[in-house]
Amino acid sequence: MTPRPFTGAFTQQEPIGDVAIAAAVAVMKTGRLHRYNTIPGELSQVSLLESEYAAYQQQSYCLACASGGYAMHIALLAAGMQPGEPVLTNAFTLSPVPGAIVNAGGRPVLVECTRDLVIDLDDLDAKAAQSGARFLLLSHMRGHIADMEKIGEITAVHGMTLIEDCAHTMGATWNGVKSGNFGLAGCFSTQTYKHMNSGEGGLLTSNDPDFMARAIILSGSYMLYERHGAAPEGSHFADIRLDTPNCSGRMDNLRAAILRPQLAELDNSIERWNERYRTLETALRRSALFYLPIRPDAEHYVGSSIQFLAEGISQENARDFVLANKALGVELKWFGASEPVAFTSNHHSWRYLQQQNLPETDAVQSGLFDMRIPLTFTVADCAHIADIIVHCAGPLRLKGAA
């Protein structure tokens, strides 16, 4: 029996709350939208957000900037990456990650992905040795966290600096340590589809004062770095302020005002996401039609999206599967498509990189499907969606695709 169509919108986020709207209106009434446009004795909304997010993240310093991609870009520059230098990163990620490396002047070296959707540690070890890379920009793609103790061992052996892309793991932990706290810096996004929504925006955290001083100057602080809410002491800027270029990418007070109330609700939102994720995961795993990535006990994830593999599926069947779900109102993304679609692409489409041989990643992505889980969906909605996905996958078993 065909399930009834689902009518919810996969791009509809929860409305901005009344407290955040009131805060935004208050900023607009002052006219002081620029983060450094303050009156005497006033801390800007951006500075307050930086202080509050540093406390939430349990890091000494935080910089609010224009986007998560910009946070990665200036993190690499502030860490000392030189033009043309190799930077290791995940082959399975979204294009802004290698894009940030290229934008900063680096050369992305892509590391294979496992069927659990994390970076392949053996390939990471081998490519670290082969490339001589000094930096690993580790993408916790779609919220899947690799074994961070082993990552730490590999980076230590090869003398690599770790920078974490935490766009999909804001609020997640590994063995009780927050994602973003394992290396030099953590980079976070507040783009509409992330865990806090300001349309666009980013946050960069670290415990290293000289690194953060360089990042603050790079972000476009001019000589106004003392107006930050979670910045190093002024002595760390003495030479850095003169030696570091201004690459303006600041966050404004309007976005910060919207984000501060959302931060207060973040942990509650995470539990709501995970309830919805577990509903979908349980139903899809029970069907025995798909491979669902293993979530280790050490990982406290944020289930704001779900991924599953139909291993061995043909391109034709994969396209038919996506279309069948769409006809019943379920929007799936397929990472094995030959052409990029909206936010979804694979390394074959990133022609600004040197093409690289990644057979393990290609095999994983050929049958990899991805779906957002907006908090506008109820738990019952998620059960309904799972029924549709399983129904549409049924014929795949007959075609030997799963």
What backbone phi and psi angles, to 5 degrees, belong to 48?
-65, -40
Q: What is the number of domains present in the chain?
A: 2
Residues 6 or more apart whose Cβ sits within 8 Å of residue 64: 35, 46, 49, 50, 53, 201, 202, 203, 250, 251, 256
The model's pLDDT over 56-84, given as tens digits with 9 standing for 90+, comes to: 999 999 999 999 999 999 999 999 999 99
Torsion angle defined by CA atoms of residues 374, 375, 380 and 384, in that order, rounded to the nearest 10 degrees = 0
What is d(CA 329, CA 8) in angstroms, rounded to the nearest whole number?
A: 7
Same domain, 291 and 204: no
Same domain, 63 and 211: yes
Residue 400 has pLDDT above 90, yes or no: no
What is d(CA 369, CA 159) in angstroms, rounded to the nearest whole number?
A: 35
Both structure tokens of 195: 């865990």
Q: What is the pLDDT of residue 395?
A: 78
**Last residue of one domain, picked from the residues 263, 293, 328:** 263
What is d(CA 388, CA 2) in angstroms, rounded to the nearest whole number?
A: 8
Residue 297 has pLDDT above 70, yes or no: yes
Residue 209 has pLDDT above 80, yes or no: yes
Residue 7 has pLDDT above 50, yes or no: yes
Residue 7 lies in a domain: no
Model confidence band, residue 107 (pLDDT cutoffs 50, 70, 90) = very high
Sheet holding 107-111, edge to edge: 61-65, 202-206, 185-189, 161-165, 135-139, 86-90, 107-111
Burial 349-361, CB ≥16 within 10 A → b, else e = ebeebeebebebb
Model confidence band, residue 397 (pLDDT cutoffs 50, 70, 90) = low
pTM for this predicted structure? 0.96
The mean pLDDT of 272-291, rounded to a whole number, is 97
Same domain, 245 and 380: no
Same domain, 207 and 334: no
Same domain, 138 and 181: yes
Q: Is 305 helix (H, G, I), strand (E, B) or coil?
A: strand
pLDDT averaged over every residue in the chain:
96
Inter-residue contact 308 to 383 (CB < 8 Å): no
Model confidence band, residue 360 (pLDDT cutoffs 50, 70, 90) = very high
Residue 10 lies in a domain: no
Residue 229 has pLDDT above 90, yes or no: no
Q: What is the pLDDT of residue 394?
A: 83
Same domain, 182 and 131: yes
The model's pLDDT over 143-169, given as tens digits with 9 standing for 90+, comes to: 999 999 999 999 999 999 999 999 999
Is 97 exposed, middle or buried, given 0-12, 13-18 or 19+ CB atoms closer than 10 A? buried
**Last residue of one domain, picked from the residues 205, 232, 263:** 263
Q: What is the pLDDT of residue 164?
A: 98
Q: What is the pLDDT of residue 37?
A: 96
Residues 6 or more apart whose Cβ sits within 8 Å of residue 248: 219, 220
The mean pLDDT of 187-211, rounded to a whole number, is 98
Same domain, 69 and 218: yes
Residue 371 lies in a domain: yes
Residue 290 lies in a domain: yes
What is d(CA 47, CA 353) in angstroms, rounded to the nearest whole number?
A: 37
Residues 6 or more apart whose Cβ sits within 8 Å of residue 257: 20, 23, 24, 26, 27, 45
Beta pairing class for 107-111 and 86-90: parallel
Domain range holding 258? 18-263
Same domain, 63 and 175: yes
Same domain, 72 and 197: yes
Q: What is the pLDDT of residue 402?
A: 39
Residue 398 has pLDDT above 70, yes or no: no
Q: What is the pLDDT of residue 150?
A: 98
